[in-house]
Every structure is written in C-alpha cells, then in structure tokens.
Amino acid sequence: MQEWVRVVFRSDHLLQLQLKDPSWLDVSVFPKAEVDELCVRCVLHDEKNAVISYTVDSMITLHDVFAQHIFEKEEGYCFLLKLMDDMMAVNRNKPVLFDPDFVFVAPFGDAFRFIVVPVKTELWMEQKERMQNWIKTLSSLFQTTTAFEIPGYLMKVIDAPEFSLPDVILGLKNMRQRYYPVRYAFFFRRRTNDIFRVQEPMHHLYDTKTEAPVQSTEKTQIIGTLDKQSAYLEINGERYDLISEWILVGRAMSCDIRLNSTGVSLKHAKILCQNDRCYIQDLKSKNGTYLNEKKVIRRMRLKEGMKIRFADVEGIFHES
C-alpha cells in the first residue's frame, strides 16, 4: 500500500481514502485539485479522521488497462508519453499517488485522472525514489508485440545518475523517432497519430468493492484483553499477519508482503480481509497464483490450511 493512505471504501464509482496520520492533512491542496481537470474530483469527507472521498465515475484503473491491452507499434509511445506528460503536470504542485491501482483511465484509454492526496509538502517533495519505483512498475506491467525497446529503456533509465521524469519523457520521444521516424521535422512536431484510443471500451477486471471501518483517532480506554488473533500467511517459516483490509503481495518495495523471488511479479496478488473472511486475487501476474494447485482466476476465498503459491514461492494460510 501507499505510505500515506489506507483504503476505507472502494467501488467502481467511489473511492474513500484515510490518511494514516490525520496530522498530515493539508486542506490547501483541495482548491488546487478542484481547478485541475486531471485530478479525480474529491471532497474532505471526515476532517477529524482525515477521510477523503473521490468520485471515479466509470473510469478504470491503469492496472486494468495493462492487464487487458497489448500495445502494438507506436501505441505504447502514445499512451506512455501522454500518461507521463499529464502526471508531470498534475504533480507539479500537488502530491499524487504513483500506483497503477490509483491512476484512472477513460474506458477508451484516451484520458487520465490522478488521485491527489492532501498531505503536507514535506511528505512528498523528496520523490526521486518514488518516481523510480513508479517507472519500474510501468516497465513490469507494459505488454507489447513489437516495441520491446520500451520496457528495456524504462528499466535502464531508472539507474541513470541524473534520473528525472522530464528526462524519461525526452528519452521516449527520441527513441520513438529512432524506431518510427518521420521524414520531415515539421511532421515530427505534428504527428497525426499521437492520440491513443482503443476501438472497444475496456472494463474493470476485478470486483473492486472494498470496505473497511474508519480508524478513529480518539483515545480510548482499554477495558479488557482482546484475544482474537489475526489471520496470517506462513511462508518459509516466517509469519505474515494479515492485519489490513487489503494486503499486496509481490516483489515491489511498496508491497505489504515482499517476496524476493525473480519469478514473482512486482505486484503479484492481493489479499482482501472483510467481515472475518479473507480472499485472494491474482493481479495478472506473469507466473500465476495458485490456491491448492488451482490457478486463481477470480477472487477466491481462503480457508484454514490452504496452500498458496505465488509463482515458485509457497505459503500456508491460517485463519488465526
């Protein structure tokens, strides 16, 4: 999960996020987001607990796009350049969630909207490492039939000494001109096929509805001992408690359960814990997620003693 927020509620049309620390809230961000058409519309739902509501309408996540569309020829350049240009514009004076589950795309793929989180400036100004992880994530999710130079370039550029998003954009433009040249500079400046748009609308791949209680910041008095234990995964002798409503499993630094095997995708799977039940969902991983050796296609419920395999990493689910 992102280090700033936790998901309170999520559906196809509404998203509610809560700051992990209400003292981080900066209400001056809201007027900036309101006048920026690239931002998902948001309101402060609960100031005391720092809960923000976002209206996502019928847009799908960037993760959904990468999972169901394979880019051909120049499509990848058009899509990524617009994504990065728009992201750089909105992130210029506002904190943005760099996560494919929190970047929204129009069903035809021709427009982006971004989640702005109203946190204080000092929390988001130093973001080189966050941006490097973002580019690495894009490289791992990007699928193509022809432009294989794109993911290779993205993986290489994150190690550049002077890494920055403008440099990534410039490099993509130069590489596009090299592999898909136009004859005259005038036309290079004014390409007619710069807009990416699919013929049939894309759709949500997963049941996105998630709901969790809001964590109150009020002090409470302990009047007894809570003996209920959380569910957990046992992997290679280590215990991973499932204490959040949404747990990401993968190789990325941002994952709640991080697995170092190269066969595991950056964001491999997610575990949802709702109403004392846990479910597992594969995130279109390269090598698959398996529950008792049955491949996870849609969300599946976890029960005591079930064996879960993330690519070549095995674990056991325990209810408590």
| Percent of the chain residues topping a pLDDT of 90 | 51
CATH code of the domain covering residue 249: 2.60.200.20
Q: 32 with 135, same domain? A: yes
pLDDT at residue 77, as a whole number: 95
Q: Could you report the per-residue pLDDT of 116-157, keeping only the tens digit for each? A: 999 998 888 778 888 999 999 999 889 888 999 999 999 999
Confidence grade of residue 294 (pLDDT, cut at 50, 70, 90): very high
The last residue of one of the domains, among 179, 205, 223, is: 179
Domain assignment present for 170:
yes
What is the pTM for the complete model shown? 0.66
Task: Based on the fold, state whether residues 37 and 129 are members of the same structural domain.
Answer: yes
- CATH assignment at residue 36: 1.10.510.10
Task: Tally the domains of the chain.
Answer: 2
Query: What was the pLDDT predicted at 211?
Result: 55
pLDDT tens readout for residues 3-41: 789 888 888 889 999 999 999 999 999 999 999 999 999
Tens digit of each residue's pLDDT (9 = 90 or more) over 206-235: 545 555 555 554 444 333 333 346 789 999
Same domain, 145 and 14: yes
pLDDT at 138: 93
Structural domain contains residue 34: yes
Is 218 inside any structural domain? no
Structural domain containing residue 277: 231-319
Please report whether residue 220 resides in a domain: no
One DSSP character per residue, the chain reads --SSEEEEEE-SSEEEEEESSGGGB-TTHHHHHHT-TTBPEEEEEETTTTEEEEE-TT-EEHHHHHHH--B-TTHHHHHHHHHHHHHHHHTTSS-B---TTSEEE-TTSS-EEE-B--B-GGGTS--HHHHHHHHHHHHHH--BSS-THHHHHHHHHTT-TT--HHHHHHHHHHHHHHHS--SSHHHHHS-S------SS-----S---EE------S-----S---PPPPEEEETTEEEE--SSEEEEESSTT-SEE---TTS-TT-EEEEEETTEEEEEE-S-SS-EEETTEE--S-EEE-TT-EEEETTEEEEEE--
Does any domain span residue 222?
no
- pLDDT above 90 for 42: yes
